A and B are shown apart, each in its own frame.
Chain A
Amino acid sequence: MTNPTASSPLARFDALFSEHQRPVLAYAMRRTQTLADAEDVAAETFTIAWRKIDAVPVEEPLPWLYAVARRVLANHRRGNGRRERLAALLRVEDVATPMRAGEDVDGPAFLALASLSPADQELLRLVAWEELGNQQIAAVLEITPNAVAIRLHRARARFAEALARESRDDDLKHLDPSRTSGEVKGTNGAAWKGAAK
């Protein structure tokens, strides 16, 4: 591994990329529909990091990278129509973001998450999937840790309630296979499509 305290900007960036390329790409994959979109987001995030290398926190850069990726994602969503028109010309492959192989999808968990507001969803994803603490989430969302704690407390309660409801429905589906879950709305990523299967 390279020395993250090295003074050269290129050395710092090289260390940053080596250390955090996987979590940043995973973050993007969990929030985009296709692998190509996730790669776009990750590449743009690190390009911004390269150009602002002096602004990247030395001690804990990952929340900073997630915050950048979050803004990049927002821009991508706004520009989605234009990109889709370009996609046919530019992309060799445009495959769905893959799920973890060989594991069952927890449909009720995804459906419960999908039933929440986008803000609640993102908070819970940052806790459960990025495994961040309140301070780190505050850095990603650019709000205070206190605000994170309050919002998270409420989001957890809403998720627990939704999960209990979805789990009951899931149990009923197993008893009566004619009951099927519908398309999951209001979320992004192939993970959610898996929940609707």
Chain B
Amino acid sequence: MSMANGPDPIDRLGAANPTRADDVPDASLARVSARIQEHIVTDIQNTSTIAPRRRQFALFGGLALAGAFALAIAFGSNLGAPAPGGAPIAANPSPSENPAAGGGGLASCLVYDPANLPTFEIVFDGTVTAVDGDKVTFDVNEDWKGAGASITLTAPDANVALLGESPDFAVGGRYLVTAAGSNINSCGYTLDYSAAEAAKWAAAFAS
């Protein structure tokens, strides 16, 4: 509605908008993101311990309990309980220096430290022999924990920035892999193979 003697009052009110979406402080968004991450991690953790909801948990892109602990810590929540089957992970990790860790969206992954590797259920050095959808089959070159000679696992959902980045698995490619159950972990704990990194992984299991 236009006034006879001036601009549309609604346009004038629009121009007086006190906070445009582009003006929202990034620090505020980061705090909001952190709060949501805590809730998600808690939900995932709770779901993993409630039998009737296990199927729903399976939808969450392959995060099992170890991954949930990792995410909880990664997100700076207060859920930093000792990781299952190993030494406690630092409760207040510094930002990861692993370029493979982290990601867009909500993600801020667990600090990458090969010392955490024994806390994962499956850890190995493998070469991909087949990729069928999200199912990836590996010949295991070095089985540090739980893999056997060959293993087929489910790749992380590449669309979920929350889970952090993981390699693009290709037949013939060699990778350093951790997994929980049948699901490959991401957040920097599954990498393209390098001899230097493999040596660190081997050292983590040497003691």
Contacts and interface: CB of A to CB of B under 8 A. Distances in A.
Q: Looking at chain A, what size class is its interface with the partner chain?
A: 35 or more
**Majority-rule SS of B interface residues:** helix
Contact of B157 (A10, A23, A109, A127): A10
Contacts of A35: 25, 28
A18 B161 contact: yes
Interface stretch (B32-40, B81-89, B145-153): B32-40
A6 B19 contact: no
A26 B19 contact: yes
A21 interface: yes
Interface string B142-165: 000000000000000101111100
A39 B35 CA distance: 9
Contacts of A191: 16, 18-19
Contacts of B43: 50-51
Contacts of B19: 26, 29-30, 97-100, 191
Q: Looking at chain B, what size class is its interface with the partner chain?
A: 35 or more
A22 B29 contact: yes
B121 to A, nearest CB: 20
A143 interface: no
Nearest to B3: A160
Interface of B: 1, 3, 9-25, 28-29, 31-33, 35-36, 39-40, 43, 59-61, 104-106, 157, 159-163
